[in-house]
Amino acid sequence: MWAVVYMANSDEIASKIQEILENEGLLVKINEVELSNEEGIREIMIMRSEVDAAHNILMQHGF
């Protein structure tokens, strides 16, 4: 089961977070959420069993 661990407002941030998490061995999926404005939100998703690890990794990298 997938769980959202971060919501990014640009491709650049989403890609950076994906790279960080994948470098730590986590499987990452990005889902773009359509909004009424020009730019959507990207949900960074990982396996539910890895949520705590992902949050710790993101906090270590300033997210």
24 Ramachandran zone, left/alpha/beta (phi>0; psi -120 to 50): alpha
Measure the CA–CA gap between 17 and 44, rounded to whole angstroms: 8
C-alpha closest to that of 6 among 54, 61, 48, 43: 43
pTM: 0.88
Task: Write down the pLDDT at residue 40.
Answer: 80
The enclosing domain of 34 has a CATH number of 3.30.70.2750
CA 42-21-5 angle, to 5 degrees, is 45
| Ordered alpha helix ranges (H), the chain | 11-23, 51-60
Quick one: pLDDT at residue 58?
Answer: 97
pLDDT score, position 38: 61
The per-residue pLDDT string of the chain (63 residues; one tens digit each, 9 = 90 and over) reads 999 999 998 889 999 999 999 999 999 999 998 766 667 899 999 999 999 999 999 999 999
Q: Which domain range does residue 12 map to?
A: 2-60
Q: How many domains does the chain have?
A: 1
